[in-house]
Structure 1
């Protein structure tokens, strides 16, 4: 294609499909009022154009729009709202508008990314901490604009993240130094279709810390639970039902740790005297719960990702495309030295078999 060719827009798609621009808009937004036949014809044309239209031609013909897209699975939970706050703190003073797209589940994600090549009215995209399939990666590449990842890494795109393996090692090493040997992990379950690095990296850090201390990993103490608001409680219930429950638990995040604490409270098991609990994040609720955690700079990841985006748009040759921010241990009241072996005490014990949460 001629690199000076005009970028195809919604009017072009409508003309090629023999429908109105309003119809194309309804198809792209998933709105009703379009026949199945017409919807299929427009969708097929969109798919075809996503591979025919040159991203370079689109970029050259478009110029600057003054808009940056931010794609995230949620907008209301603390992590994502904090990252978004960091992004906005940089883009707003520079005169950029931020378009926030929420893809809360697989269905929304498929629909959003399928239509993405026609959403070319942005100068850059910031993707915030969620698993992206191979198809979705291709759709991002088809945009022909800078793509920056905040809170993770994806292919060779510039990114801002923490070292998840190192953060996990910080958490588990703290428990080991406190004398714990039966240390469990409640992790986020992985989807083969949507590989996601943080759960894998944190599991690697957990196992590495155990190995360095000469402790064997026990499969019964590694619990993977699909992500939900109750996953921490579900994971803790499973651990309490093991033949030999742990004396300490490393949770994927502070929110997961909060659910684990709920199950322990309901089971009448004292924290930290019987079981210690640690998370990752330093979520605002962590201080209220006196939760020991590994703090990560969440809002700063959004800030740095936005700064990286502006540098890419400005052609800054000195940009650092891969930035890893430090984490550090915050010791509070949910961790304590392990009780001597065989000691029961007056605080409840993880010893025995078949303990379940009430």
Structure 2
């Protein structure tokens, strides 16, 4: 087994110089650094991560905390984060918090202390007690989609995105609009659902259109869940002319419910989503676009800067990425208005 002493002998330097070189110390002469790296490459030397961590005080591991991994948004953003961190020599430790805020064992400091260099917190609401525990860790942290304390945050304006979607349906002449995606227990710890349904209600009220409470439907933000939630409404005697789903995944479920009930889209029913899922274009789904990978990259870069500066008390940074309407083939004026 090749040791650090073997690398030092091959390069003609001390073990301490090899150690400083492999830890990226700026105090090593560039010519010496090149000689050490060449020797390590020739001998196929791989430094022990544990030893390097002990020597440098860093683990080169970033914790990524998400409410779940089974949704397109979280899978997409974690992929972007992991790729960005890997390019800079960091690894990801993923924590999926399926339980709601305050659930026993959902969050414990030992998950992170001395195991990670920083935390990326993705769209998970926290209790005051959990926020206090995070603060005590004194680790750099960047949030995505939700604000925790004064931590830097990357997000979109979910309220604006939902308002854009409702406004599009109203502009087409729809006044009988249903909504699917109010929070249920399994997603109550996410911050986005509450913001989007609030915007739906407020935009209708502002336009003088009544909100039919029986048409504001709860779902677990899956295609199957949305299909089950909306199908009875589409089979009823009084049905909407349009359905806004709080996510494109649920909008796909609404399209499935329309097919099962024999309704034509968009002739009999307009269907609108939010997110611009990777399937949205292929399905012709009208939606509000958000750039998910860009959010992941921005969050990763903010955290890396904080980790490298070893400063967890930098002024809060808020990066808000734009959203925009993409009207496609699933929305049209209602037949009565057309």
TM-score (normalizing by structure 2): 0.75
The 3-state SS of whatever aligns with 1:323 is: strand
Quote how far apart the aligned CAs of 1:257 are. Answer: 0.5
* CA–CA separation in structure 2 for the residues paired with 1:296 and 1:82: 12
Q: Which of 324, 328, 337 in structure 2 is aligned with 1:332?
A: 328
The 3-state SS of whatever aligns with 1:68 is: strand
The 3-state SS of whatever aligns with 2:94 is: strand
* CA–CA separation in structure 2 for the residues paired with 1:235 and 1:194: 17
Structure 2 counterparts to residues 277-296 of structure 1, below 5 A: 277-296=271-290
* 2:217 aligned partner: 223
* 2:145 aligned partner: 151
Between Structure 1 and Structure 2, whose CA radius of gyration is higher?
Answer: 2
* CA–CA separation in structure 1 for the residues paired with 2:187 and 2:94: 24
* 1:83 aligned partner: 77
Structure 2 counterparts to residues 1-358 of structure 1, below 5 A: 63-75=57-69, 77-105=71-99, 110-114=104-108, 116=110, 119-191=113-185, 194=188, 196-242=190-236, 244-315=238-309, 321-340=317-336
- Is the CA contact (8 Å cut-off) linking 2:141 and 2:151 kept in structure 1? yes
* CA–CA separation in structure 2 for the residues paired with 1:156 and 1:97: 25
- Root-mean-square deviation (CA), in Å? 2.9
Q: For each residue in 1:227-274, what CA deviation from the matched residue of structure 2 results, as whole angstroms up to 9, or x when unmatched?
A: 445221022124225552110111010000111111110000111011
- Is the CA contact (8 Å cut-off) linking 2:173 and 2:333 kept in structure 1? yes
In structure 2, the CA distance between the partners of 1:88 and 1:217, relative to structure 1 (3 Å rule), is: same
Quote how far apart the aligned CAs of 1:325 are. Answer: 0.7
> What are the ranges of 5 or more consecutive residues in structure 1 without an aligned counterpart?
1-60, 344-358
Q: How many residues align?
A: 282
- Is the CA contact (8 Å cut-off) linking 1:117 and 1:143 kept in structure 2? no
* CA–CA separation in structure 2 for the residues paired with 1:228 and 1:132: 23
* CA–CA separation in structure 2 for the residues paired with 1:279 and 1:140: 34
The 3-state SS of whatever aligns with 1:113 is: coil
In structure 2, the CA distance between the partners of 1:73 and 1:109, relative to structure 1 (3 Å rule), is: farther
> What are the ranges of 5 or more consecutive residues in structure 2 without an aligned counterpart?
1-54
